[in-house]
């Protein structure tokens, strides 16, 4: 999950995916889009984009409740898929 750096290890165990790689790839794509696709917007710098993401991620960590949950798995298979719950 993007932006949940503090939960990357939990998400990696749950999903088998490396959330850190996703976060880095997404941030790089957005950074390039902002810096290179908006011609004439000279006030946007790479540093300001980095600061924006840093502040945005911190706000999500502080304001959003985030948890994962697997109800149970039995011999017939998964009865309830892993869920990601969040509440603003």
What digits encode the pLDDT tens for the residues 12-57?
A: 666 566 666 767 777 777 777 776 766 555 566 778 777 878 887 7
Q: Identify whether 76 is part of a domain.
A: no
Residue 79: inside a domain: no
Distance CA 12, CA 19 (A): 6
Evaluate whether residue 80 is within a structural domain.
no
Q: What is the DSSP letter of 80?
A: S
Residue 87 lies in a domain: no
The domain of 27 spans 5-63
Total domains in the chain come to 1
Q: In this structure, is residue 75 part of a structural domain?
A: no
- For residue 72, tell me if it sits in a domain: no
The SS3 of residue 75 is: coil
Q: 70-82 burial string, b = 16+ CB within 10 Å, else e?
A: eeeeeeeeeeeee
Helix (H, G, I), strand (E, B) or coil at 84: strand
Is 20 part of a structural domain of the chain?
yes
d(CA 78, CA 71): 9
Query: Tens digit of pLDDT for each residue in 51-78?
Result: 878 887 787 777 776 666 666 667 776 6
């Amino acid at each position: 999950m993007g932006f949940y750096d503090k939960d990357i290890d939990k998400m990696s165990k749950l999903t088998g995916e490396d959330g850190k790689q996703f976060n880095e790839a997404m941030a790089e794509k957005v950074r390039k889009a902002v810096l290179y696709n908006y011609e004439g917007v000279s006030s946007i710098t790479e540093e300001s984009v980095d600061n924006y993401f840093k502040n945005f991620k911190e706000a999500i960590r502080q304001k959003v409740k985030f948890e994962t949950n697997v109800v149970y798995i039995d011999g017939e298979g998964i009865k309830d898929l892993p869920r990601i719950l969040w509440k603003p």
